[in-house]
Amino acid sequence: MVKIGIVGAGKICQGPHMGAYDKIDEAEVVAVCDINPDRLKDAGKRYPNAKLYTDYKEMIDNEELDAVDICTPNNLHSTVAIYALNKGKNVICEKPDAINTLEAEKMKAAAEKSGKTLMVIRNNRYRPSTKFLKEYIKQGKMGEIYAGRCGWIRRRGIPGWGGWFTDKSQSGGGPLIDLGVHIIDLAMYLMGNPKPVTVSGSTYSKFAHTSYSKTDVEDLAMGFIRFDNGACLQIEFSWASNIEYDQMFVELRGEKSGSRMSGIDRKFDIFTEECGTNVTIKPSIDDYNCMPHHEANIRHFIDVINGRCAPDFTPEQGVNMVKILEALYRSAECGHEIALD
């Protein structure tokens, strides 16, 4: 039995994370930590045998945990993860990995020193359509993937107005760091996780001072990423834009075929050519009537720490993601392309 201690019992924990542990027979939530007494009380009702804490260090020090699951605001991810890793615990953490590159690198170093597993949620990798397309690419049916576009664009969808999501000191940014992690990672994962070398971006905050609340993060981010293999990726992420309808997509261009995955209208197409004719393939795959993607991600984490498989996410991938996000924000501030180390 894998003994789990949770830090942060808010909505993302109460929904996808606790929902997963409720279904995984070989995982047991034995401790929960949160500074909010109401959330802690709710956790105690859900897990009556779990110990409840308001101090994550005390929980990690006192409980015999196999793993720590971190669902705190973004600015606390690295602090809690590093402490847990240094205490010999495996860690699974909500996205983003950290709010800056230095903290992500510290997390990676702590994982390497401890020899424990550090994974950050990348739930979109576990969609049935993702698994199919990854195998399709592996078999060479798309050829070289040389370009892509991806985005998550909401007409109106700013989360937690007045809460930590719209407070840069806690979140690290707006839709770029919130939504971008999901979709940029999905695109890069399918492209083979190439190393980013330069980025350029622009951010806008046009809905910050509406009747809803005041915020100091962007509501729209657009950018361009170049990789070491010559491929490139165009990105767009928005919490609020005057557009016709919401969009969430990853589009890839390959020498032999291309693809488009669209998560809102539930379309998945492959574009190729057969017998001199353009052909659109529509795989019969359902990403919604299946195992929840967070649950699949957490099950993979349990498999990894039980020695059944290698992790499909590495801390190095996490560092590269945070480098991209941080450099996009820097590019938006200075107005020119940023080269990555």
Give the pLDDT band (50/70/90) at residue 120. Answer: very high
Question: What are the residues facing 267 on neighbouring strands?
Answer: 262
Condensed to tens digits (0 to 9), the pLDDT of residues 17-37 reads: 999 999 999 999 999 999 999
Q: What pLDDT, on the 0 to 100 scale, is given for residue 22? A: 97
In a domain, 314, yes or no: no
In-domain check, residue 304: no
CATH of the domain at 101: 3.40.50.720
Domain-embedded: residue 306 = no
Same domain, residue pair 6 and 35: yes
Token pair belonging to 182 = 């999901």
Average pLDDT over the chain, rounded to whole?
Answer: 95
265-304 per-position pLDDT tens digit: 889 999 999 999 999 999 999 998 999 999 999 999 999 9
| In contact, 128 and 287? CB cutoff 8 Å | yes
> Phi/psi of residue 234, each to 5°?
-95, 135
Q: Are residue 137 and residue 276 in the same domain, yes or no?
A: yes
Indicate the residue among 75, 97, 122 that finishes a domain: 122
Q: Whole-model pTM?
A: 0.94
Q: Tell me the pLDDT tens digit for each residue of 126-152.
A: 999 999 999 999 999 999 999 999 999
**Considering its fold, how many domains does the chain have in total?**
2
Tell me, yes or no, whether 234 and 257 share the same domain: yes
Question: Any idea what the CATH number is for the domain that residue 333 is in?
Answer: 3.30.360.10
Residues 150 and 190 placed together within one structural domain of the fold: yes
Mean pLDDT on 318-340:
97
User: Is residue 334 domain-resident?
Assistant: yes
- Structural domain that includes position 19: 2-122
78 and 135 housed in the same domain: no
What pLDDT, on a 0 to 100 scale, did the predictor assign at position 161? 57
Whether 15 is covered by a domain: the verdict is: yes
Whether the pLDDT of residue 199 is over 70: the answer is yes
Do residues 75 and 176 both lie within one domain?
A: no
Strands 338-339 and 196-204: antiparallel
Nearest 5°: CA angle at 210, between 206 and 216? 60
Query: What's the pLDDT at 91?
Result: 98
Q: Are residues 65 and 88 in the same domain?
A: yes
Environment class of 303 (CB within 10 Å of its CB; exposed 0-12, middle 13-18, buried 19+): middle
Residue 319 has pLDDT above 70, yes or no: yes
Q: Which of 79-88, 143-152, 186-195, 256-265 has the lowest mean pLDDT?
A: 256-265
CB proximity list for 12: less than 8 A, separation 6 or greater: 71, 94
Q: Residue 313 has what pLDDT?
A: 97
Q: Which two tokens stand for residue 326?
A: 């941080």
Check pLDDT > 70 for residue 260: yes
Sign of CA dihedral 32, 33, 36, 37: positive
Q: Would you say residue 264 lies in a domain?
A: yes
Q: Evaluate if residue 209 carries a pLDDT over 80.
A: no
Higher pLDDT, 195 or 174: 195
The predicted structure's pLDDT at residue 332 = 97
d(CA 49, CA 66): 17
- pLDDT of amino acid 114: 98
Residue 204 lies in a domain: yes
**Is the same domain home to 253 and 145?**
yes
Which of 77, 99, 122 is a domain's end point?
122
Mean pLDDT of 110-120: 98
CB atoms within 10 A of CB 156: 14
User: Is residue 289 assigned to a domain?
Assistant: yes
Domain check: are 72 and 129 in the same one? no
Q: Which of 74, 102, 122 is where one domain is finished?
A: 122
- Whether 329 and 272 map to the same domain: the answer is yes
226 has a pLDDT exceeding 90: yes
Assess whether 117 and 210 both reside in one domain.
no
| pLDDT given for residue 162 in this prediction | 58
Instruction: Say yes or no: 141 and 69 in one domain.
Output: no
Indicate the residue type of 31: A
